[in-house]
Every structure is written in C-alpha cells, then in structure tokens.
Amino acid sequence: MDSEKLVRLAGELRAETIRIVSRTGGHLGSSLGVIELTLAIHAIFDTPHDKLIWDVSHQCYPHKILTGRRERMLGLRKKDGPSGFTRRAESPYDPFGAAHSSTSISAGLGFAMARELGGDPGDVVCVIGDGAMSAGMAFEAINNAGALGKRIFVILNDNAMSISPSTGAFATYLAELGARPGEERSFFAQMGFAYHGPVDGHDLPGLLEKLRSLREEATGPVLLHAITRKGAGYDAAETSADKYHGVAKFDVETGQQAKAAAAAPSYTKVFAGALVKEAEKDSRIIAITAAMEAGTGVDIFRRHFPDRAFDVGIAEQHAVTFAAGLAAGGMKPFCAIYSTFLQRGYDQIVHDVALQGLPVRFAIDRAGLVGADGPTHAGAFDVGYLANLPGFTVMAASDEAELVNMVATAAAHDSGPIAFRYPRGEGTGVAMPETGVPLPIGKGRVVAAGGTVALLSFGGRLGECLMARQMLATHGIPVTVADARFAKPLDTGLLEELYETHELLVTIEEGASGGFAALVLSHLAGRGLLDGHLGSRCALRTMTLPDRFIAQASPEEMYEDAGLSAHHIALLVRDVLAARSVVPLAARQLNGRHVRRVQVAE
Ligand SMILES: Cc1ncc(C[n+]2csc(CCOP(=O)(O)OP(=O)(O)O)c2C)c(N)n1
Ligand SMILES: CC(=O)[C@@H](O)[C@H](O)COP(=O)(O)O
Ligand SMILES: [Mg+2]
C-alpha cells in the first residue's frame, strides 16, 4: 500500500482496536499509541521473516489484527481466545512471547546473533516503551548490543507513561532528549547505537520514510526514538489519568467503563488501608512499588505519606535490594510486588535479604491464578521460592481480615524477612477488624471442626474448602477445615494433630508443587510419620496447581482447569475414602499400625 492508503488504514485499525477492546476489555491505551508504528514496521519490514518483538507486548492488539487474528479478537484474553500478549504458539508473527517487561532487546539480540551465526535469517525490530526502559535488563541488553555492533533495530516508543507517569532520572533524560529537535549524540549513541530521532510516532508518512532509509542503510545497532501519545486518537483514553492502560468493557461514545459494583473491598485496597494504619503508628514504615502504584495500592499509601512511598520504576531487582538497604538502615520497608514480578528479584531476595537476615516485608499481591492476563501473570511459584530460604517467614491470607492481621504481623516482625501473599480481586466480604493484630508466628487455626477428614488450606482456597465441607456433609462425611496461615514456620503441632486424628488429610494451596504441600510432606517424613511400620492410619493427599501452565480464562475457569475448586476437593475426598473402605478397617491395621492398602491387596 502507498502512504496515503496506509494513513487511511491507520484510521480503520484504530477504530477496530477501540471497537474490539470496548467489547473485551484489555490494554487499550498502549495499543492505540502504536497504531502508526505497527503499520510502518509491517509495511517496511518483511515479517515474519524479519522478527518483530514487542516489549511487554500489551500493545500488540493492532499487530494481531493485522497478522491474521482479526476474526478471533472478540475472544481476546478469554478462554481459548487470542492471548493479550504475543505468544510463539499463536502465530509465526509472534517470534517471541512476552508479558513481563524489558526483555525485547535481549531476545532481539539473540535473534540477531543467531542470524549472524547462520541461524534464522532476517532483520530484527524490537519495540520497547519508555517504562520498560527503566529496567536494568534493557540496559544490560543495550550494553551487549552496542559492543557486538551487529545490525538490530530498536524503536523506543516514548509516551512518557509507564502504567503511571514514568518515574526516575532516565525518564527525565528521555523527556529532555525528546524535546531536542535534531539527532544529537545521546546516551544511546555513546553505547554504540546509531541514534535517530526524536520523530513523531504518529506521523505515518514520516515513519515510513525514516524506517525505509534505516532499513537500507543500517550496518549496526540502530535506535529510533519515536514520541507517541498513550491512548492516541481516542479522547476518553487520552484525557484519562492512566490513558486507558487497562480497561474493562466500555461504551465507545462515552468512554464509560462497565465495572460491576464490588461486593467486598479488594485485597489490594485492604492491604493499603492496613499499611496506612500501621504507618500512622510507626514512622519507620516505608512502601515500595516497582511501577505498579495503583495495582499494589501504594498510590493510597503515597497520599498519606508522600515521603515514605517509592515508585522505583520497572526494577523489581533494585526494589528488593533498595528495601534491604532501608531495612539495614533501620527502616521497615514493605515491598509491594505482584507474585509474578517478584520472580525478577530472586537473587536479590536470596543474597541481599535472606542471607543477611534483613527484615524486609514482602506484600505479595496477585497470588494464585489471575484470569485474563493468563499464565505469564500467574502467582504460582512464590511459596516455593521463598519458603526454601533459611530464616524466611511466609504467610498466606485466607480472607481480607486475615490480610489486615498479616500486615500487622509483618510490621511487628523485626527478626528476619517476612512475606504474605493474597489474591487478585475482591475479598470474601468477612467482617473487618478495626486494626490489625499480630498473629502468633507459625500458628494456624482450625476454622471448622469435623472428624473423618481434615482439609488444611494455605491461602485463598479456604472458602472452597468450606464449600467442600458442606458438600461432604451431605454424604455423611464430617470434615475438619484448618487454615495454616504459615507455610514457614509450619504449625507442626496443628499438622501432626490433624494427621493423627483423621482418616485423611488433604492440603490445598493456590501455588505450584514445591510449596506448602512439599513442606508438609517433608515435615511428616522427617518425623518418620510416613514410614510404613510407624505410620499413622491417616491417608494424605496434596492439591496444588498442576505441573503445567494454566491457559488464560476467568479465574474461576482457571481454577476449574487446575482442579482446585470445591467439587474437586470433595471428589478427591470421596475417592480416597471409597478406596480405603474397600479394605476393611481391621485389615488395614496390624497391631494398631497402618498398613498401606496396596500391601493389603497383595
Ligand atoms: C517485570 C514487569 N514488571 C511490571 C510489569 C507491569 N507493567 C506492564 S506494562 C507496564 C508499563 C510499561 O510502560 P511502557 O513500556 O512505557 O509501555 P506503555 O504502556 O507506555 O506503552 C508495567 C509496569 C511488567 N509487565 N513486567
Ligand atoms: C501488562 C501488565 O503487566 C499489567 O498491565 C497487568 O496486566 C496489570 O494487571 P492487573 O490488572 O492485575 O493490575
Ligand atoms: Mg510508555
């Protein structure tokens, strides 16, 4: 298409993107900001032979519409529909999957070097936002790419916005660079890139001309600095504070989003409110977020304590070590980070926090399956990767009242690192305490007494356990439900009591294997309670996320897929009891000791 036709197409693509997202919800503002860039790149480069890599890739909707997925877009972010991010499995036009930020230049450099070494041919174009440029990983890649000197195109999509307005000294630098008229020496040039810009990222004819000449002439790494507007071309988005970063379904005419009235406060708001209350009593409490102010509730904290709230940018690694330094300096830092993004800071957690026994508090939001963002955003692994660290205390809130108490527990806990996890979305609607009360460390609680079966829940599946209990009651099976509260230290007294006084003990958690259940099994094994000759008569089962990534869907559908809903619990219990009852109790006991069914059957 010629430039004129492409300009017309840009209008259509923008309208189509708005129409689709108005019916699906999703990341609208970022997609609207790259309409012209998307068209220009696809017009000048030969995708999928050339590799186009979107950073984060929350801005990939126009790219998906153009690359064979238009008809499926109304299923965007739903079960079996297109992902909200790029996915290799979805299309050859998605050469690299993303959703966590700041990976594009590293991956792109990998493609470029593969090409140089005789692998997949083609050019490489990485599109990275100014927000994503705040992460160390992007700088690590620029450092490497500049030294290698191979041909690679990096387009810096600079809209001065992360999810909130971009923060940090580099954001200020970009603003200054973007305001300069000519193509001057810049940080990027000094790092070995040919810097071009700033250019107007919405001037499609200008972009076409620029990319065409770069494609013809480039011999090494190139950085094109494009200035764009997040939400461009849709008033409601451009004038809103967050530029419609992530929206629910909305009315295109008015921009009004269809958000259902909440039945209970969100865990995030409850966390923020509880932290504010603790901070009123203790001036050493600090809140840290890595570019997720609104998502984590640190924006609420900031309103009360502007000097004690820090948005460090998309820099989870730095956030963790910054918190470690604050703790070593006598403060009480709360690092509020989504479970999935905390993965970025793991060595810092081990080396800077745990090894030094520093009392950093980790408020881990979005624990468990989160819904439309899918497996890239699932909070699946934190219990496993934290509870294996010496000296760490790890809690999970079963409801929002528990969360308030866990915030108080963390505030009071000075002897080492402590983490508490809680799910995305609304709480359960329980009565809330006026103020949080610190919990006794390493103590769980029995929530409902029963008899034959004990369900030991860690975290947000407690409600499902209580529902399963009701289901099982209709079959005459009495069930005890306990809330472990702590994965570490484990309430070993409660655990052993449940194990010794029930026919079946089931653990349930919203996390991958290697988490709470592993700790339970390890404790029982260590005590010799799983040994055949010494063992209790209690059967044991663990319910964790399965050993596969759960595809995007609603959270309920994802838990259904994972087999962690109330009816799965009830079914498992009935199956185990039925299997055990085929062997008469007398046969299962030998001199009062447990004999495994399989041995008896033999
Ligand atoms: C490691 C990591 N931390 C946090 C996020 C959450 N996040 C998604 S998009 C975004 C802002 C990205 O800003 P930018 O790259 O400038 O893109 P824009 O939305 O402005 O187009 C953030 C913080 C993430 N995806 N990955
Ligand atoms: C793209 C990204 O990583 C974020 O925008 C994320 O989708 C936010 O998720 P929440 O809606 O759970 O805050
Ligand atoms: Mg941006």
The per-residue pLDDT for range 211-229, each reduced to its tens digit, is: 999 999 999 999 999 999 9
Shared domain for 413 and 466, answered yes or no, is no
The confidence score (pLDDT) of residue 362 equals 99
Q: Is it the case that residue 144 has pLDDT exceeding 90?
A: yes
Three-state SS string across 533-581, please?
A: CCCCCCEEEEECCCCCCCCCCCHHHHHHHHCCCHHHHHHHHHHHHHHHH
Residue 261 DSSP one-character state: P
pLDDT tens-digit series, residues 383-429: 999 999 999 999 999 999 999 999 999 999 999 999 999 999 999 99
Q: Is it the case that residue 588 has pLDDT exceeding 70?
A: no
The confidence score (pLDDT) of residue 259 equals 85
279 labeled binding residue: no
The confidence score (pLDDT) of residue 260 equals 85
Q: Is it the case that residue 534 has pLDDT exceeding 70?
A: no
Shared domain for 231 and 312, answered yes or no, is no
Dihedral of the alpha carbons of 561, 564, 569, 572, in degrees to the nearest 10: 50
In a domain, 437, yes or no: no
In a domain, 249, yes or no: no
Say what the ipTM of the complex is. Answer: 0.99
153 lines ligand 1 (CB under 6 A): no
The confidence score (pLDDT) of residue 584 equals 39
Helices (H), 307-421: 316-328, 339-342, 346-347, 382-387, 400-412
Shared domain for 359 and 228, answered yes or no, is no
**Spatial separation of the C-alpha atoms in residues 519 and 510, rounded to whole Å:** 15
Closest CA to 88 of 112, 117, 54, 65: 54
Please report which ligand is nearest the Cα atom of 29: 1
In a domain, 251, yes or no: no
Q: Which of 367, 387, 421 is the last residue of a domain?
A: 421
Q: Which atom of ligand 1 is nearest to the CA of 59?
A: 21
Residues in Cβ contact with 216 at an 8 Å cutoff, skipping those fewer than 6 apart: none
In a domain, 261, yes or no: no
Shared domain for 410 and 452, answered yes or no, is no
The confidence score (pLDDT) of residue 581 equals 79
Shared domain for 279 and 391, answered yes or no, is yes
30 lines ligand 1 (CB under 6 A): yes
Q: Is it the case that residue 202 has pLDDT exceeding 90?
A: yes
Cis peptide before 198 (omega within 30 of 0): yes
Q: Is it the case that residue 370 has pLDDT exceeding 90?
A: yes
The confidence score (pLDDT) of residue 467 equals 98
Shared domain for 283 and 231, answered yes or no, is no
Shared domain for 229 and 331, answered yes or no, is no
For a mutational test of ligand 2's pocket, the pick from 373, 552, 554, 558, i.e. the residue with the most ligand atoms closer than 8 A to its C-beta, is 373
**Spatial separation of the C-alpha atoms in residues 90 and 73, rounded to whole Å:** 13
The confidence score (pLDDT) of residue 595 equals 32
Region 92-99: what's the mean pLDDT? 98
Q: Which atom of ligand 1 is nearest to the CA of 58?
A: 9
132 labeled binding residue: yes
What is the token pair recorded at 326?
A: 């604050």
CATH code of residue 471? 3.40.50.920
Q: Are the C-beta atoms of 22 and 65 separated by less than 8 Å?
A: no
To the nearest whole number, what is the mean pLDDT of the chain? 95
153's enclosing H/E stretch is: strand 152-158
Q: Which of 238, 258, 278 is the last residue of a domain?
A: 238
Cα of 162 vs centre of ligand 1, distance in Å, is 6
243 lines ligand 2 (CB under 6 A): no
User: What DSSP string describes 492-511?
Assistant: HHHHHHHHHH-SEEEEEESS
The confidence score (pLDDT) of residue 181 equals 74
Number of domains in the chain: 3
In a domain, 262, yes or no: no
pLDDT tens-digit series, residues 159-171: 999 999 999 999 9
94's enclosing H/E stretch is: none
Shared domain for 513 and 586, answered yes or no, is yes
Q: Are the C-beta atoms of 166 and 313 separated by less than 8 Å?
A: yes
129 lines ligand 1 (CB under 6 A): yes
Q: Is it the case that residue 346 has pLDDT exceeding 90?
A: yes
Percent of the residues in the chain that have a pLDDT greater than 90, as a whole number:
93
Shared domain for 124 and 156, answered yes or no, is yes
CATH code of residue 406? 3.40.50.970
Cα of 131 vs centre of ligand 3, distance in Å, is 5
| Residue 537 binned pLDDT confidence (cut-offs 50, 70, 90) | confident
316 labeled binding residue: yes
CA distances from 291 to 298, 358, 547, 557 (A): 10, 23, 30, 29
- What's the one-letter identity of residue 238? E
Q: Is it the case that residue 586 has pLDDT exceeding 70?
A: no
488 lines ligand 2 (CB under 6 A): no
Q: Is 316 a catalytic residue?
A: yes
Q: Are the C-beta atoms of 300 and 276 separated by less than 8 Å?
A: yes
Q: Are the C-beta atoms of 541 and 572 separated by less than 8 Å?
A: yes
Which of the residues 14, 69, 230, 588 is marked catalytic?
230
pLDDT tens-digit series, residues 236-254: 999 999 999 999 999 999 9
Residues in Cβ contact with 392 at an 8 Å cutoff, skipping those fewer than 6 apart: 354, 386, 416, 417, 418, 419, 488
Shared domain for 342 and 456, answered yes or no, is no
The confidence score (pLDDT) of residue 484 equals 98
| Residue 533 binned pLDDT confidence (cut-offs 50, 70, 90) | low
Burial 104-142 (b: 16+ CB within 10 A, else e): bbbbbbbbbbebeeeeeebbbbbbbbbbbbbbebbbebb
**Spatial separation of the C-alpha atoms in residues 455 and 395, rounded to whole Å:** 17
123 lines ligand 2 (CB under 6 A): no
Residue 377 DSSP one-character state: G
Percent of the residues in the chain that have a pLDDT greater than 70, as a whole number:
96
Region 248-268: what's the mean pLDDT? 94
Q: Is 23 a catalytic residue?
A: no
159 lines ligand 1 (CB under 6 A): yes
Q: Which atom of ligand 1 is nearest to the CA of 245?
A: 19
Q: Which domain holds residue 302?
A: 267-421
Shared domain for 287 and 414, answered yes or no, is yes
The confidence score (pLDDT) of residue 591 equals 36
In a domain, 396, yes or no: yes
- What's the one-letter identity of residue 511? G
Residue 258 DSSP one-character state: -
Which of the residues 51, 87, 344, 424 is marked catalytic?
344
The confidence score (pLDDT) of residue 185 equals 78
In a domain, 40, yes or no: yes
In a domain, 488, yes or no: yes
Tell me the whole-structure pTM to 2 decimals. 0.95
Look up tokens 């036709």; give the residue: 5
Q: Is it the case that residue 582 has pLDDT exceeding 80?
A: no
* Pairing state between β 194-200 and 152-158: unpaired
pLDDT tens-digit series, residues 12-25: 999 999 999 999 99
319 labeled binding residue: no
Shared domain for 403 and 523, answered yes or no, is no
159 labeled binding residue: yes
| Residue 535 binned pLDDT confidence (cut-offs 50, 70, 90) | low
Q: Is 243 a catalytic residue?
A: no
Which of the residues 16, 316, 402, 464 is marked catalytic?
316
Q: What is the largest CA-CA distance in the chain?
A: 89
